[in-house]
Structure 1
Amino acid sequence: MKRTSLLLFLIWIGIIVFPQSVLSQTGFEHYEIDIHGDRKNFFELIDHIEIIPLEETDQTLLSFFEFYLPIEKGFILGSKGDKKFYFFDKSGNYSFHIKNNEQGDKGFSGFSSAWIKDNILEFLSSDDRKLFRYDLMGHFLESIDLKIDKNIRLGEMYSFEDGYIVTTIENLSIEKGGMVPSPAGYAVVYLDNQLNTINYGHKDNTLPPFPIANVPRLLIDKNKLLYKEILNDSVFAINENGVLPYLKFDFGKDWAWIHPKHTEHLGAAFSTVSRGQFVNDFRPLFSQDFIFLKYLINSKTYHFGIISRQTQSFLNVRDNIKEIGFEPLAVHEGKLVASLQSYSLEKFLKRIDSNRITIRGNKTIGQLINTENPALLILDFKTDN
Structure 2
Amino acid sequence: MKSFSGLILLSFIVFQACSDSNENVTQEAVQNNDEFKTFKIDTEAKPVSIFELIEEVEIMRFEETEESLLSYIYQVYSTEDEIIFPSGNDGSIYSYSKKGEFIRKFSHVGNGPGEYEFIWSFWVDGDRIFVSDINRRRLLSYDLEGSHLKSWKLPFSAKSFFTYDKGFVADLDYRAFQDSLQFNVLFLDENMEVKQMANPYFSPLILYVGSNVNSFQPYGKDLIYHGFKRDSVFLIEDNRTRPLLKFDFGEEWLWTEETIKNNPRTTGLIRETDLVWWVDSYIGEKWIYLSYKTSMKDVFKVLIDRNSGVQKAVKVNKNAATKYAMTPIKWEEDRFMVSLQSPDVQEFMTDLGESKVKFREGTTLDEIESSENPVLLWVKFKELK
2:158 is aligned with what amino acid? L
Relative to structure 1, the CA distance from residue 139 to residue 281 in structure 2 (aligned partners, 3 Å threshold; closer, same or farther) is: closer
Partner residue in 1 for 2:308: 311
Post-superposition offset of 1:337: 0.7
TM-score w.r.t. length of structure 1: 0.81
Which range moved further: 286-295 or 122-131? 122-131
Conserved 8 A contact 1:54-1:92: yes
Partner residue in 1 for 2:236: 238
2:350 is aligned with what amino acid? K
Show structure 1 runs of 5+ residues with no match: 1-23, 172-179
Partner residue in 2 for 1:203: 200
Partner residue in 1 for 2:217: 219
- Residue 151 of structure 2, aligned match among 127, 144, 149: 144
Conserved 8 A contact 2:91-2:109: no
Partner residue in 1 for 2:16: none
Please state if 1:77 is matched with 2:75: no
Structure 1: distance between partners of 2:56 and 2:317: 19
Structure 1: distance between partners of 2:315 and 2:255: 25
| Partner SS state of residue 383, structure 1 | coil
Conserved 8 A contact 2:235-2:244: yes
| Partner SS state of residue 43, structure 1 | helix
TM-score w.r.t. length of structure 2: 0.81
2:337 is aligned with what amino acid? V
Which range moved further: 55-64 or 309-318? 55-64
Structure 1: distance between partners of 2:192 and 2:281: 28
Relative to structure 1, the CA distance from residue 263 to residue 297 in structure 2 (aligned partners, 3 Å threshold; closer, same or farther) is: farther
Structure 2: distance between partners of 1:155 and 1:261: 22
Q: State the 4+ residue runs in structure 1 displaced beyond 6 angstroms.
A: none
Relative to structure 1, the CA distance from residue 229 to residue 92 in structure 2 (aligned partners, 3 Å threshold; closer, same or farther) is: closer
What aligned pairs does 1:318-357 form with structure 2 within 5 A after superposition?
Answer: 318-320=315-317, 323-357=323-357
| Partner SS state of residue 355, structure 1 | helix
Partner residue in 2 for 1:165: 169
| Partner SS state of residue 295, structure 2 | coil
Post-superposition offset of 1:78: 1.4
Partner residue in 2 for 1:8: none
Post-superposition offset of 1:161: 1.6
Please state if 1:45 is matched with 2:45: no
RMSD: 2.7
Show structure 2 runs of 5+ residues with no match: 1-31
Conserved 8 A contact 1:47-1:356: yes
Relative to structure 1, the CA distance from residue 326 to residue 110 in structure 2 (aligned partners, 3 Å threshold; closer, same or farther) is: same
Structure 1: distance between partners of 2:39 and 2:161: 27
Which range moved further: 316-325 or 26-35? 316-325
Post-superposition offset of 1:109: 2.0
Structure 2: distance between partners of 1:281 and 1:182: 27
Which range moved further: 366-375 or 279-288? 366-375
| Partner SS state of residue 372, structure 2 | coil
| Sequence identity (%) | 22
Partner residue in 2 for 1:123: 131
Structure 2: distance between partners of 1:377 and 1:241: 34
Partner residue in 1 for 2:101: 93
